[in-house]
Amino acid sequence: MTKKVNHFKDELWRTFTVYALIPTFIISLFIFVLAFVYWNINVVEKNQSRLNQASEKISTTIASYVEQAEKIAAESNIKSLQTDQGVKVSMYQRLYHYANNTGLQTEFYLYDQGMNRLVSNQARDPEFIQVARKADWGIVGQIKRTPA
């Protein structure tokens, strides 16, 4: 029969493990979980707040653009834009005034039914316009089908 002998060294290691390492591990895990939950809640709340602000800004900007476009469409005579330089200058003034009031860097383009540029603040047409002149799909197709 062999009798198990507990040495002081083994007893000291067991005591150290039970009373020091395990509680330290449990407390560290608990603190990590609390920090993660706090960080997650904080980040989600800030992101939601920023998302709401961005959404509000985009909605306001789009509504303003639509309102201005409808106002310009109602008050403008496209035929006179093609021939009368004074009307064209007036249109440029209105568009630049609106673009400057928004505080955003705005590119504006005004095309006739044949997709020929009438007024723009850019030297070149956007890339999609070559395709849009031939295509009958997307927003350009919708505009061609229902111009009013």
Asked whether the predicted pLDDT for residue 134 surpasses 60, the reply is yes
Dihedrals phi, psi of 111, to nearest 5 degrees: -120, 155
pLDDT category, 4, cuts 50, 70, 90? low
* CA 95 to each of CA 71, 76, 101, 111: distance values in angstroms, whole numbers, following the listed order: 11, 12, 10, 14
Q: pTM above 0.85?
A: no
Residue whose tokens read 């961005």: 54
Q: Is the dihedral of CA 26, 27, 30, 35 positive or negative?
A: negative
pLDDT category, 81, cuts 50, 70, 90? confident
